[in-house]
Amino acid sequence: MSLLRIAIVGRPNVGKSSLFNRLIGRRVSIVDPTPGVTRDRISGMLEIPAPSDVDDREVRFAELTDTGGYGVYVGEGARFDDAGMDLTKLTDAIESQIRYATREADLIVFLLDAHSGVAALDETVAGIMRKSGIAEKVLPVVNKVDDESWEAHGHEFFALGFGDPVFVSAKSGFGRAKLAKKLWEAAENHQGHVEEQLLKFAIVGERNAGKSTLINALAGQKRVIVSEIAGTTRDSVDVELDINGHKYLAIDTAGVRKKKSWADDVEYFSNLRARDAMLRSDVCIFLLDATKEISQVEKKLSLELQKQFKPTVIAVNKFDLVEDTTSPQEYVDYLTQELRGIDYAPLVFISAKESEGLEDLMKIVVNLDRQAKHRESTGKMNRIIEEIISERGPSSKLGTRAKILYTAQVGISPPTIVLVVNKPTLFTPGYRRYLMNRLRERLPFSEIPIRMVITERNRISLSALKGGDHRIPVTDDPDSSDDIIDHES
């Protein structure tokens, strides 16, 4: 199953980032009293230990997301950050991030402040979630409850209509066990729950690359506006398709340009929605225009797709216009040089206008989705890792050799592999790339990104792990640049 997705939502300064850091076990989110510091969503891997009345070997995992505060700078006039950006314009961007997080989350932690009581913005956020039909996913959590004497102040939050709140203190850790039990129960309910959904694929690329033309060609009719004027699609458009008896949901996105080229606020939000389209898709079609050189924007898009661990097929459009002067192999060599790190992604040459190559394109989309949802057995995973390490293992200049204590796949979409090792620092970025390449050769993940977490053994005993429980804890990857996920790999 995919990991349980948990989003922390609330108005500014209720302690969302502090709670995120407390649950993750280290400082990932910036903690600052200034409203609006957390503008984008920040995610990390969460280990949920079992309650005391459950076998202590049991551990569940979740992807925890911290969001910006709802209602930042509303009604305060123009305010500017250090870079000169008008922060009043960020409000819609932050709230867009929150709307996406709550739409995609399996559980929403609605964080409130016991010291200030129910504020007008709390009621606004509660009303939005009720109107959005996601109230059943909401867990109210009242923060800044430093001890039991403060719990009485939290009872007024019953009036928000989401049931009994959980009382915690992100600063001191009070009530963490009760919150952990709630998260454990949510993870237990999530495990084994399978919902049949349409395969969702997003078409991303620079402006005027032919995204809308491709949608129309796949649909067999004009479903989205096709225009020679760059930037016609200002929003993401969902189109349900029936191709050879199989149903899909295609997401046509606004074309992306450099920030300095943005004409207005509408274009800023179009680019934000294009990124959201990537996030909510199962597979991305990265559409390139063969008649143009690879741009800096396309290089940034490539990095974003890698950062999101998104299965991607590179579709080279309009190749029929250049095939007299450029061979397919020459173009592949060119892309290898220009788009670094995404060489695992399959490539297909198409003509959206002439409807050529589309059958092969859709076969690759389906295949990538299957790869991303494959789960490998723990036994086979351990055997493969042992073989790779025996062939070439990491070691330090002092002669210290790395040992793999245990390996398991803990999630799908993307495949998430955890390695428990004796010394994580030995696994340098270069060796992780080597390890990733060898895994691609031996596992059915040859054309998709793999999320790898390298961690040191902690409180769960190795004997318990060897007893057959593959749900191991995840801690810091010391070489990761921004969170527990290794984007280098």
CA distance 225 to 317: 18
Q: pLDDT digit string (tens) for 83-112? A: 444 444 444 554 565 666 667 788 999 999
Per-residue pLDDT, averaged over 259-270, amounts to 41
Q: pLDDT digit string (tens) for 154-168? A: 678 888 888 889 999
Task: Calculate the average pLDDT of the chain.
Answer: 75
- The domain 378-466 is placed in CATH, from the list 3.30.300.20, 1.10.3720.10, 3.40.190.120, 3.30.360.10, at 3.30.300.20
CA distance 127 to 123: 6
Percent of the chain at pLDDT exceeding 90: 23
What residues have CB less than 8 Å from 75, skipping those under 6 apart?
none
Two tokens at 459?
């409180």
Q: pLDDT digit string (tens) for 335-370? A: 999 999 999 999 999 999 999 999 999 999 999 999
pLDDT bucket at 65, cuts 50 / 70 / 90? confident
Helix axes 265-280, 90-104, angle to 10 degrees: 20
CA distance 97 to 377: 35
Evaluate whether 4-190 and 378-466 have a shared fold: no
With residue 386 as reference, give the H or E element that holds it. helix 378-391
Cβ atoms of residues 286 and 205 within 8 Å: yes
Whole-number pLDDT of residue 56? 52
Q: pLDDT digit string (tens) for 208-228? A: 788 888 988 888 866 554 444
Q: Which CATH architecture has domain 4-190?
A: 3-Layer(aba) Sandwich (3.40)
Residue 36: pLDDT over 50: no
Residue 483: pLDDT over 50: no
Two tokens at 205?
């690329």
CA distance 143 to 148: 12
**Phi/psi at 250 (nearest 5 deg)?**
-95, 135
Q: In this structure, which topology does domain 199-372 adopt according to CATH?
A: Rossmann fold (3.40.50)
pLDDT bucket at 27, cuts 50 / 70 / 90? low
Q: pLDDT digit string (tens) for 448-470? A: 999 888 887 654 433 333 333 33
Per-residue pLDDT, averaged over 391-396, amounts to 82
Would you say the pTM of this structure is higher than 0.85? no
Cβ atoms of residues 206 and 289 within 8 Å: yes
Cβ atoms of residues 254 and 274 within 8 Å: yes
Question: In terms of pLDDT, which residue wins out, 38 or 485?
Answer: 38
Closest CA to 484 of 434, 419, 406: 419
The residue count for the chain? 489
Domain extent listing, the chain = 4-190, 199-372, 378-466
